[in-house]
Amino acid sequence: MAERNGFHALAVEAGELSMFAGRFFRNAFHRRFEWRELLRQAAINGSGSLPLVGITAFIMGLVLTVQSRPTLARFGAESMLPAMVAISVVREIAPVITALICAGKIGSSMGAELGSMKVTEQIDAMEVSGTNPFRYLAVTRIWSTTLMLPVLVVLADAIAIWASWVGVNIRDTVSWPLFYRQVFDSLEYGDILPAFAKSYFFGFAIGVVGCYKGFTTAKGTEGVGRSAHSAVVVASLLIFFLDLIAVQITDLLGLT
């Protein structure tokens, strides 16, 4: 029965999450839009996440380069290192790692912040005072993650590729102009654009899950912790599911 309950709970959660997403779309383009709050959230979720994302991207680029070198060197294909790292980073590593980092940082903070607002009845108070809490709190947050994640991903791409150049230069000496030429020679629009497009969905998933978990927090302060934690888990899982769907779509479109 536990399994059935688990599946039942999952189905209910999926349904509620979809309804929450639908509610967002109904309010997303409302003419009374909270621009100021959007900018505030964008600053927190976008530029505020850059240090963390930047460090992660730098380490990923460097580590990937250093780890791949022995295998490529065995085939005498060290000159393919920039191309290999660039394609891996741009197509998969930068979007997914950035999204996971943001799911951890932004999803948990949203779940906790909105959850504590919920349990302390601040959201209800907002409603009473005539402000639409969903438009003010949820729509701005979801828009901010949706719009900021692609920017973070692009910057993560650049940082990881630069880190890869640093990694190549630990053993070899390759000039930056040659390196970036090799990188761009290997890249196609089919590498960048699908990755860029899917990062919007990753950002949307992080925002929706974070806000949903915050808005549905119950059972006091314990519930706030649970919301923060489950926001990270669900958002991360959702990112992988979306990645799976995205890769199949790009494959069907012949972009891989």
Partner 1 sequence: MPSTSGRSLRLGLFVLAGTAVLVIGLYLLGSKRDLFSRTLTVEAVFQQVGGLRPGNNVRYMGINVGTVQDIAITSDTTVRVRLAIREEAAGHIRTNAVATVGTDGLMGNRLVNLAPGEGDGGPLADGTVLPSSVPLDTDLMLRTLDRTNANLAAITDDVRELAARLNTKGNAVDLLADTVLAHDLSAALREIRIAAEHARSATAGIDAVLGDVREGKGVLGTLVGDPASERQVRGLLGNLRQVSDSLHAATEGINRFAAALNTPGGIAHTLTADTLLTQDLRRTLSRLDTGSALLNEDLRALQRNWFFRGYFKDKEKVLKRGTRTRP
The site for partner 1 (CB under 8 A) is made up of 39-40, 42-43, 46-47, 50, 148, 150-152, 154-155, 157-158, 180, 184-185, 187-189, 192, 196
Q: Give CA 207 to chain center in angstroms.
A: 9
Judged by beta carbon, residue 98 or residue 230, the one nearer partner 1 is: 98
Judged by beta carbon, residue 199 or residue 236, the one nearer partner 1 is: 199
Q: Least CB distance from residue 67 to partner 1, whole Å? A: 23
Q: Least CB distance from residue 247 to partner 1, whole Å? A: 20
Whether 20 contacts 231, CB under 8 Å: no
- HSE-CB for 220 with a 13 A CA cutoff: 1
Judged by beta carbon, residue 85 or residue 231, the one nearer partner 1 is: 85
Q: Least CB distance from residue 255 to partner 1, whole Å? A: 13
Q: Least CB distance from residue 64 to partner 1, whole Å? A: 19
The secondary structure of residue 121, as a DSSP letter, is T
Whether 126 contacts 136, CB under 8 Å: yes
Maximum CA extent, the chain: 70
Three-state DSSP class for residue 49: coil
Whether 102 contacts 51, CB under 8 Å: no
Judged by beta carbon, residue 127 or residue 185, the one nearer partner 1 is: 185
Q: Least CB distance from residue 207 to partner 1, whole Å? A: 16
Q: Using alpha carbons, list the distances in angstroms from residue 177 to 68, 82, 162, 164.
A: 21, 12, 11, 14
Judged by beta carbon, residue 28 or residue 196, the one nearer partner 1 is: 196
Give the C-alpha separation, 230 to 237, whole Å.
Answer: 10
Judged by beta carbon, residue 32 or residue 36, the one nearer partner 1 is: 36
Q: Least CB distance from residue 79 to partner 1, whole Å? A: 10
Judged by beta carbon, residue 117 or residue 155, the one nearer partner 1 is: 155
Residue 48's CB is within 10 A of a number of other CB atoms, namely 15
Residue 173 contacts by C-beta under 8 Å, 6 or more apart in sequence?
Answer: none
Placement of tokens 């959007």 in the chain: 38
Q: Least CB distance from residue 43 to partner 1, whole Å? A: 4
